[in-house]
Amino acid sequence: MKKTLLFDTTLRDGTQGENISFTPEDKLRVAQKLDDIGIHYIECGWPGSSPGAMEFFKMLQGISLKHTVVTAFGSTRRPGIRPEEDANLAALIECQAPAITLFGKTWDLHVLEIMGNTLEENLAMITDSIGFIKHHGLELLYDAEHFFDGYKANPDYAMETLVAALKGGADMLVLCDTNGGSLPHEVEGIIHEVMAKLGDKGFTNVSFGIHAHNDCAMGVANAIAAVRAGASMVQGTINGYGERCGNTDLTAVIPILCLKMNDSCMDSENIKKLKSLSRFVSETSNMIPLSSRPFVGRSAFTHKAGVHVSAIMKNPVAYEHMEPTLVGNTRRVLVSDQSGRSNIEYKAKELGIDLESEAFDTRRFVSEIKLLEQDGYQYDIADGSLKILMDKFRLQHKPRFELEAFRVTVEKDKERPCTSHAMIKIAVDGKTEITAAEGAGPVSALDNALRKGLDKFYDQIADMHLVDFKVRVIDGRDGTEAKVRVLIESRDHEDIWTTVGVSEDIIEASWQALEDSFQYKLAKSLNKSS
């Protein structure tokens, strides 16, 4: 059974993505999560780029990683100097990482036009730099930058750069689709050609890796094509984070290799951690999780059409390519105006409600859903509000707080931007609490005031955060009197839920969604602890 090595560069290449940033403490937590799941190599940054990057490597020296090899990233020496005179190479040695990823130029366009170098000096830079690193007893992975573009433009020179790397002592050649423009059949074909040409030159049993970008939405496909062609390592990032359109997404590559291609790159128990790892990295990088992300996204195993739901209740294979629990995900069923009885019954089970033990009129509930959706509500993407609605229909809803009143004010003058203030009066078990707060807008102020009041009664909301707020005009023909739909997405350390509100008044619609969000969280947490 083949075992492909997994190389994660979330903490280096992933941080080059727009709006992606990690503190050193964040990086440490991510590295520990990657180690826990069994990633073989973690690229932890470019120590020669800044003092902060070097500081992170010093932090890593104080922790014990069980499964992964810490890797540092850097470039070949600068033109015209010896390797021992190059500050970048010196930093790679100083950081004490046991493995080094060194990149060099493959494409003659970059050598001649971008660097203003000569082709001969570029080859010497590759061999010299790798030899210098290997002299210090470190593992060396050579990243052939822009390899596929370089090979298509000038295959002879691209091959010379690989030979230069092997002469220097590289342990692995990583072929990079840096611009993300190659297609799977090109990747597979070129790797076969490269292996044959190296064999003709006397280099046999060369280890290859693939580093692909996603600019043509082919990052995962190109990685799989490379493995089919003989690559023994896949480089990528969690959630595909990275520059421009991102990198190969390891949360997709890993289950494809393990569950579709019988590759032993990760054991089954660790594969089950993929969804939580994806969510952890999203939260740590302050990025909203992509619901449609394959395998680990919230919608990856979600069903809406009544025909589909009826089928999966008999046999999930009818509309699912694999069992969602294998990657730590869950099957979800949506309820909307397209729903039938099957959707409601399945959704009830998903929400932990046993309709068979209750006198529950499913048909009447479906009719009520359809009436509410005609009024503008949308429950197929608002599980939190649906659970509350279902509990109310069953006379099982127990409000954890009740609104007495709130007041929101927005102030603006010609000198200053808008400021928002909210005062709220709530009752919890007969006790009244009045609080006030500011916010970055009226809904933010209302959220802060409600949270401030509830915090005195429930410590369970400490880990709850609002992550998305959407407003949609339902029918614009009524102008400023049109109804609006507000969707609020919230999350805690283990769950994401969405709630909905509808009104002609945007604050009223926002309050409905906000109240449902807190009611859902409190019911979930308190029921679990009781």
3-state secondary structure 194-244: HHHHHHHCCCCCCCEEEEEECCCCCHHHHHHHHHHHCCCEEEEEHHHCCCC
What span, in angstroms and rounded, lies between the C-alpha atoms of 126 and 152?
Answer: 20
Three-class DSSP labels, 132-174? HHHHCCCEEEEEEECHHHHHHHCHHHHHHHHHHHHHHCCCEEE
Specify whether the CB–CB gap between 475 and 483 falls below 8 A: yes
DSSP secondary-structure letter at 398? -
CA 39 to CA 34: how far, in whole Å? Answer: 6
What is this structure's pTM?
0.74
Lookup: tokens for 37: 């799941």
Q: Give the max Cα distance, the chain.
A: 85
Q: Do residues 158 and 149 make contact, with C-beta atoms less than 8 angstroms apart?
A: no
Give 10-residue mean pLDDT values along the chain (530 residues).
94 94 90 96 92 88 91 96 96 96 97 96 98 98 98 98 98 98 98 97 96 98 98 98 97 98 96 93 86 93 78 87 94 67 69 65 76 81 86 87 95 85 95 94 93 93 88 71 87 87 93 95 80
Instruction: Note the pLDDT of residue 335.
Output: 67
pLDDT score of 234: 98
Contact 104, 125 (CB under 8 A): yes
CA pair distance 274, 328, nearest whole angstrom? 6
With vertex at residue 82, the alpha carbon angle to CA 78 and CA 83, rounded to the nearest 5 degrees, is 75
Element (H, E) at 384: helix 383-393
d(Cα 43, Cα 72) in Å, to the nearest integer?
Answer: 6
What's the pLDDT at 338? 55
List the domains of the chain with CATH numbers: 5-264 (3.20.20.70), 402-529 (3.30.160.270)
